[in-house]
């Protein structure tokens, strides 16, 4: 899901920009200018719309219990973790009602297990690091259906932990219907389809943004991904409190004397936090974020196995975390 959400947000916002002019050349210039201004302002509110970012999660020590599919305990003990994430979004091409956007994502995850865990019958090492690289592209089209505006998209994502091979490919499709667009309120509904080697999942989408009257507060709801309340202090500084889903994907290889098995570790966390961000210069944003992580799912399974067919199921306690980030407001335009 982590790769599909940025596509969905780009599609939603791109449907909100219209430019008018007497000449085609002037219209294009106005449209490009208005689009960049709009994306810049909305990217302040929604980090997933920014041109790129680098963030570091320092996660507190928590208790992890790991068991196999039969419920047999494999590990029980403390674990510490930190995550480095980087992503860069690229507008590749835009013509008429169509556009193509790409993105590159990187995740480095470091785990440190307790030296004397309980029932540690299957532990690769006490301290290890995993990395994942993802490359994605999405085609979108702004159109109308039954005389109502609509946005369509189709995307493909490839993931690996090494540059010599692709470990996983997934596909996404979306259809978004804007219901209401005013100066203070934007409402969208739609359906997101996620196709991966593990499953095909349709997800209902609801998006709602509202700026309160006589108040600087802004409410942003993007279900099922996040809910946030934003309080701007100025045009360059703001605070945000909310809850967001944070998925991650890493790869493992289980070695035996005679063979090796490719495995995937799917993690879904729920982060509740308070963040403060400040613009440095014209395009750079520095942010500090702190809160609590609650793990929803953490399973190790074969790369093509169904979600219910897992080898290891991890249960982790809620832990505090601190995040430091540097991100960039939109500055690139389509090459076409």
pLDDT digits (tens, 9 = 90+) for 130-159: 999 999 999 999 999 888 899 999 999 999
Report the distance separating Cα 176 and Cα 311, nearest Å. Answer: 37
**Domain of 203?**
4-328
71: left (phi over 0), alpha (psi -120 to 50) or beta: left
177 occurs within a structural domain: yes
232 occurs within a structural domain: yes
Asked if residue 31 lies in contact with residue 277, where contact means CB atoms within 8 angstroms, the answer is no
pLDDT (mean) for 66-80: 87
Asked if residue 101 lies in contact with residue 136, where contact means CB atoms within 8 angstroms, the answer is no
333 occurs within a structural domain: no
pLDDT digits (tens, 9 = 90+) for 298-309: 999 988 888 788
Asked if the model's pLDDT at residue 316 lies above 60, the reply is: yes
Number of domain units in the chain: 1
The pLDDT assigned to 46 comes to 86
Find, among 220, 228, 221, 267, the residue nearest to 59 by Cα.
267
336 occurs within a structural domain: no
pLDDT digits (tens, 9 = 90+) for 240-295: 999 999 999 999 887 777 777 888 999 999 999 999 999 999 899 999 999 999 99
The pLDDT assigned to 32 comes to 56
Q: Which residues 6+ apart lie within 8 Å of 330 measured at CB?
A: 36, 39, 40, 43, 49, 50, 51
Asked if the model's pLDDT at residue 76 lies above 90, the reply is: no
The pLDDT assigned to 257 comes to 72
Count of residues making up the chain? 336
Report the distance separating Cα 209 and Cα 181, nearest Å. Answer: 10
pLDDT digits (tens, 9 = 90+) for 199-210: 888 999 999 999
Cis ω before 224 (30° cut-off from 0): yes
145 occurs within a structural domain: yes
Sign of the C-alpha dihedral, residues 206, 137, 131, 168? Answer: positive
50 occurs within a structural domain: yes
pLDDT (mean) for 72-86: 91
- Please state, for a pLDDT cut of 70, what percent of the chain lies above it: 85
Which string of b and e fits 125-154 if b means at least 16 CB within 10 Å? eeeeebebbbebbbbbebeeeeeeebbbbe
Torsion of CA 11, 14, 15, 18, to 10 degrees: -170
Q: What is the DSSP string of 108-147?
A: EEEEEE-SS-BS-SS-S-SEEEEEEEEEEEEEEEEEEETT
Q: Which residues 6+ apart lie within 8 Å of 254 measured at CB?
A: 260, 261, 263
The pLDDT assigned to 22 comes to 39
Among 119-133, 139-153, 170-184, 319-333, the range scoring the smallest mean pLDDT is: 119-133
Asked if the model's pLDDT at residue 239 lies above 80, the reply is: yes
269 occurs within a structural domain: yes
Sign of the C-alpha dihedral, residues 220, 237, 216, 185? Answer: negative
Q: For the whole model, what pTM was predicted?
A: 0.84
Average pLDDT of the chain to the nearest whole number: 85
- Specify the pairing of strand 73-95 against strand 185-195: unpaired
- Please state, for a pLDDT cut of 90, what percent of the chain lies above it: 57
335 occurs within a structural domain: no
Report the distance separating Cα 131 and Cα 121, nearest Å. Answer: 25
């Amino acid at each position: 899901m982590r790769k599909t959400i940025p596509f969905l947000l780009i599609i939603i916002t791109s449907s909100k920009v219209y430019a008018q002019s007497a000449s085609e050349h002037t219209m294009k210039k106005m449209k490009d200018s208005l689009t960049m201004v709009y994306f810049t302002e909305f990217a302040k509110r929604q980090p997933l719309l920014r041109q790129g970012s680098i963030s570091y999660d320092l996660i507190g020590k928590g208790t992890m219990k790991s068991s196999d599919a039969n419920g047999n305990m494999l590990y029980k003990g403390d674990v510490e973790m930190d995550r480095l994430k980087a992503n860069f979004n690229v507008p590749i091409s835009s013509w008429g009602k169509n556009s193509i956007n790409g993105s590159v994502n990187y995740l480095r995850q470091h785990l440190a297990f307790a030296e004397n865990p309980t029932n540690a019958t299957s532990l690769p090492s006490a301290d290890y690091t995993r990395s994942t690289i993802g490359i994605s592209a999405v085609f979108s089209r702004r159109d109308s259906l039954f005389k109502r505006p609509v946005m369509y998209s189709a995307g493909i994502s490839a993931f690996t932990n090494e540059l010599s091979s692709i470990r996983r490919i997934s596909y996404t499709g979306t259809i978004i219907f804007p219901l209401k667009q005013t100066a203070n309120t934007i409402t969208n509904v739609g359906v997101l389809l996620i196709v991966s080697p593990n499953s095909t999942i349709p997800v209902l989408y609801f998006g709602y943004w509202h700026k309160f009257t006589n108040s600087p507060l802004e409410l942003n709801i993007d279900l099922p991904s996040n809910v946030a309340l934003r309080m701007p202090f100025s045009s360059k500084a703001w605070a945000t409190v909310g809850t967001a889903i944070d998925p991650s994907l890493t790869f493992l290889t289980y070695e035996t004397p005679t063979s090796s098995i490719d495995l995937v570790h799917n993690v879904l966390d729920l982060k509740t936090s308070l963040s403060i961000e400040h613009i440095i210069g014209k395009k750079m944003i520095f942010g500090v974020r702190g809160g609590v992580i609650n793990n929803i799912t953490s399973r190790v399974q074969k790369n093509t196995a169904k979600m219910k067919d897992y080898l290891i199921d991890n249960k982790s306690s809620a832990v505090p975390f601190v995040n430091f980030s540097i991100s960039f407001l939109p500055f690139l335009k389509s090459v076409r």
